[in-house]
């Protein structure tokens, strides 16, 4: 069965430090991959997505992610974290099964220390 | 541009009362529509999806139902709420074969069953 794993439930970094959030997926074919960010009590905002081509994708707010087929990973990175990046981050896989469905990881909550 | 509206934003309902959450999408035609529920530490669970008017697919058995009376309207309902129905409900949409099948979310509805 298809699945998405975000192994880190919580991550704390200092402002200005680099960030990497991990995401591993299980899917037979090359999936559509997404990262979303959610502020408390809000909906999910799309950060970036990968469908094909260049395996390093750039997103909004200075985030990037790299698709590594050999590792079944799609890790999210940011070189320098800002306090406003504190939120919950979700990795997702889109797959076709009669129609497009999206499977989400359980999320990683990011705390940023001043 | 496309927008999605979801209401009410917050709802407190007694056990056994009915529920109706409504979602509408603007700026697109024939979208796929989704209802997700988010529970703390459990990520997003797909409840229902719809590929067209009157076409509803349920992902998990539960106390809820969904309807799509119009192309861009998706309603989540219950005849009698349970305590376990409490949570954060998110409506979402995607357009097949467009924008890489990206899924976009509304702002969510907080439901507390008391």
Which residues of chain B make contact with A101, given a CB cutoff of 8 A? 46, 49
Any chain B CB within 8 A of the CB of A95? no
Query: Contacts of residue B7 in chain A, CB cutoff 8 Å?
Result: none
Within 8 A of A35 by CB-CB distance, chain B residues are none
- pLDDT bin (cut points 50, 70, 90) of residue B9 is very high
The string of pLDDT tens digits covering residues A35-49 is: 999 998 889 999 999
Local confidence band at B8 (pLDDT 50, 70, 90 cut-offs): very high
What is the predicted pLDDT for the residue at B95?
Answer: 84
Q: How far apart are CA B10 and CA A81, in angstroms?
A: 31
Interface test with A, best of B10, B42, B43 (most A CBs within 10 A): B43
pLDDT of residue B26: 94
Q: Residue B99 above 70 pLDDT?
A: no
| Mean per-residue pLDDT of chain B | 91
Chain center to CA of A98:
25
Distances (CA, A) of B45 to A64, B9, B34: 26, 19, 10
Asked whether the beta carbons of residue B51 and residue A99 sit closer than 8 angstroms, the reply is yes
């Amino acid at each position: 069965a298809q699945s998405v794993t975000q192994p880190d439930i919580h991550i704390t970094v200092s402002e200005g430090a680099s960030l990497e959030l991990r995401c591993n997926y299980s899917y037979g074919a090359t999936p559509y991959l997404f990262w979303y960010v959610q502020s408390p009590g809000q909906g999910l905002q799309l950060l970036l997505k990968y469908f094909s081509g260049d395996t390093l994708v750039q997103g909004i707010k200075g985030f990037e992610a790299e698709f590594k087929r050999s590792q079944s990973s799609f890790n999210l990175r940011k070189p320098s974290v800002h306090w406003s990046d504190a939120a919950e981050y979700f990795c997702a896989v889109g797959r076709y099964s009669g129609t497009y469905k999206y499977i989400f990881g359980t999320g990683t909550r990011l705390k940023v220390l001043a | 541009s496309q927008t999605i509206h979801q209401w009410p934003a917050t709802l407190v309902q007694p056990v056994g009362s009915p529920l109706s959450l409504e979602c509408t999408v603007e700026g697109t035609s024939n979208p796929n529509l989704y209802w997700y529920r988010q529970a703390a530490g459990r990520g997003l669970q797909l409840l229902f999806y719809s590929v067209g008017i009157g076409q509803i697919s349920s992902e998990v058995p539960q106390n809820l139902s969904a309807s799509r009376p119009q192309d861009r309207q998706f309603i989540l309902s219950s005849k009698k709420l349970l305590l376990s129905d409490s949570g954060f409900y998110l409506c979402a949409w995607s357009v097949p074969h467009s924008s890489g099948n990206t899924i976009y979310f509304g702002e969510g509805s907080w439901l507390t069953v008391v």
